[in-house]
Amino acid sequence: MARLGLNLLTTEPSARDAEVTRTIAMGKGVRLERIISHGQASPDGFWYDQAEAEWVTLLSGRARIRIADQANEIAMVPGDTLLLPAHCRHRVAWADPDQPTIWLALFVDGDLKVP
Amino acid sequence: MARLGLNLLTTEPSARDAEVTRTIAMGKGVRLERIISHGQASPDGFWYDQAEAEWVTLLSGRARIRIADQANEIAMVPGDTLLLPAHCRHRVAWADPDQPTIWLALFVDGDLKVP
């Protein structure tokens, strides 16, 4: 029987203290995550360096992403999408402290291409 | 170099005449699609019957999904999520005619599980 799952825009009170990540769906070589932050940026000097390719969109809030070896930060608003190949080092430089920033991130083993 | 892709909330004028589907990202056994409709429901008697599992969310608008052999329609608002196993026959019973309804759908070969 098909039933509605989690509403992705439902925030979690604990996200005020730390980023909250929740796995939304999983398949072979595929993982979908929802991440909520309230102004939390990545710790200074920390870079995500992932074995999987990641596609990410912003469902609410505002944020800026920094890519290693890339001069400008990437500002994201709801609906914006970003493809991060495996081992593309990146960090969250800023997330809006005044509202929940909700990410939907798809992680895939191997290559992910945007047509 | 990482760059922003399509903003998923950008509508397409042609969606007023017919549903518009766009592939957003593709990987091995994985496909992410954005679908925009302006009140278009599935044709009478038509059922989607897919070999892939589908996870879908609503980014904007409103819609109701009908699942074969399930009495009640499933009403969806933005952020709502629905998992449709492979060959779970379904159709769009209604989409809001007064605003664009924007879906984000993930299709995966094999099983997709919601924790």
Residue B115 banded pLDDT, cuts 50, 70, 90: confident
Taking all residues of chain B, what is their mean pLDDT, rounded to a whole number?
Answer: 93
ipTM: 0.93
- A80 touching B, CB under 8 A? yes
Q: Residue B2's pLDDT is what?
A: 83
Q: The tokens of A18 are what?
A: 């730390």
pLDDT of residue B92: 95
Side chain identity at residue A6, one-letter code = L
Q: What is this structure's pTM?
A: 0.95
Of B8, B31, B12, B9, the closest CA to residue B20 belongs to B12
In whole angstroms, how far apart are CA B66 and each of A36, A84, B51, B78?
31, 35, 18, 17
pLDDT at residue number B3? 84
| CB–CB contact B28 A29 (8 Å) | yes
Residue A6 makes CB contacts below 8 A (sequence gap 6+) with A22, A24, A34, B81
- Contact across the interface for B30 and A29, Cβ inside 8 Å: yes
Question: What is the average pLDDT value for chain A, to the nearest integer?
Answer: 93
pLDDT digits (tens, 9 = 90+) for A2-11: 889 999 999 8
Across the interface, whether the CB atoms of B79 and A104 are under 8 A apart is answered: no
DSSP of A17-36 = TS-EEEEEEEETTEEEEEEE
Is B5 close to A114, i.e. CB distance below 8 A?
yes
Mean pLDDT of A19-28: 95
Residue A88 scores a pLDDT above 90: yes
Average pLDDT over residues B44-65: 96
List of chain B residues whose C-beta atoms are within 8 Å of the C-beta of residue A4: 74, 76, 80-82
Question: Which tokens belong to B115?
Answer: 């924790």
